[in-house]
């Protein structure tokens, strides 16, 4: 059991059995995500899912979108992937949520999925490099909380774990990728959060791109909103942005032929380390994603 699952519950479970816990009014997604991130290490375990597990993950993602009220079947599918399920009311929003959290058994350090159940799923907020891209998980959670019906997808291993195989943004065999692409196929727009050192693009606060996918109206709105908020924003479709354009991003490549939008957002450390800056970015993103 990982530190994050310990934060969610003190109850054990049997492997690959439904791991449903009673609804808890005191369960805070922020604590669970913080515990997950704090427990990551370059030397930690990780493996890719096998073909059967990827198939199961695709079915689970489809079920979340197509049959949002079928919780029993959702929990059964995720349990087979080593995920427990918790239901509660987010203390920050007052809205109902479900957390699917990997227990890390059998090197299945596959992270967390937080689903806002107050509305039908609309967007996916992705955090592929928690701990490595510091505080991106905080931006991700803040954005998720501003988007009723959104899904927050957080990787469960350090980017450099397992010789770099845990770099899910560049690993098309990862569970993170499998879920993200299936959500995209169901029409959910994706915003993927990254971070860069200030020295890597001096003077810039943010880089907005669509990876290998075509430029989208959503990306344009986000770039405009960040600029208007006072952040120096590099638009990757207009000029070079210090090799931060995300053109090798696996999720962006997979989304290139789909109708849903993919936005790759890099944030400077100066923005990420500041609570006011993180809140500003989350607010702008939420406004622009809602159109």
> Which residues touch 60 (CB under 8 Å, ≥6 apart)?
74, 77, 78, 81, 179
Residues in the chain predicted with pLDDT less than 70, given as ranges, are 1-25
Beta strand extents in the chain (DSSP E only):
83-89, 96-102, 112-116, 123-127, 151-154, 189-196, 206-209, 233-235, 262-268
pTM of the model: 0.93
CATH number at residue 118: 3.40.630
| pLDDT at position 16 | 45
List, edge to edge, every strand of the sheet that includes 151-154.
83-89, 96-102, 112-116, 151-154, 123-127, 189-196, 262-268, 206-209, 233-235
- In this prediction, residue 47 carries a pLDDT of 98
Number of structural domains (the chain) is 1
3-state secondary structure of 17: coil
The pLDDT of residue 17: 47
Quick one: pLDDT at residue 291? 74
Give the separation between CA 48 and CA 62, rounded to whole angstroms: 20
| Domain interval for residue 102 | 3-289
């Amino acid at each position: 059991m990982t530190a994050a699952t310990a934060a969610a519950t003190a109850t054990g479970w049997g492997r690959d059995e439904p791991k449903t816990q009673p609804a808890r009014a005191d369960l805070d997604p922020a604590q669970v995500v913080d515990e997950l991130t704090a427990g990551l290490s370059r030397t930690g375990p990780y493996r890719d899912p096998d073909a059967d597990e990827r198939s199961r993950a695709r079915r689970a993602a489809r079920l979340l979108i197509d049959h949002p009220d079928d919780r029993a079947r959702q929990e059964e599918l995720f349990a087979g992937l080593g995920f427990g399920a918790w239901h509660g009311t987010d203390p920050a929003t007052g809205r109902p949520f479900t957390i699917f959290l990997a227990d890390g058994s059998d090197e299945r350090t596959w992270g967390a999925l937080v689903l806002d159940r107050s509305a039908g799923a609309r967007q996916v907020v992705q955090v592929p490099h928690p701990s490595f891209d510091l505080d991106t998980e905080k931006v991700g959670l803040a954005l998720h909380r501003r988007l009723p019906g959104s899904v927050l997808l957080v990787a469960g291993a350090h980017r450099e774990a397992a010789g770099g195989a845990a770099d899910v943004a560049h690993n098309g065999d990862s569970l993170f990728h499998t879920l993200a692409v299936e959500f995209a196929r169901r029409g959910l727009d994706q915003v993927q959060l990254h971070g860069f050192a200030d020295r890597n693009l001096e003077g810039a606060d943010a880089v907005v791109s669509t990876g290998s996918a075509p430029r989208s109206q959503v990306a344009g709105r986000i770039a405009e909103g960040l600029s208007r908020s006072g952040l120096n924003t590099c638009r990757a479709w207009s000029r070079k942005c210090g090799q931060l354009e995300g053109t090798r991003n696996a999720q962006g490549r997979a989304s290139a032929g789909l109708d849903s939008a993919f936005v790759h957002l890099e944030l400077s450390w100066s923005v990420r380390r500041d609570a006011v800056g993180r809140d500003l970015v989350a607010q702008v993103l939420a406004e622009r994603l809602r159109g």
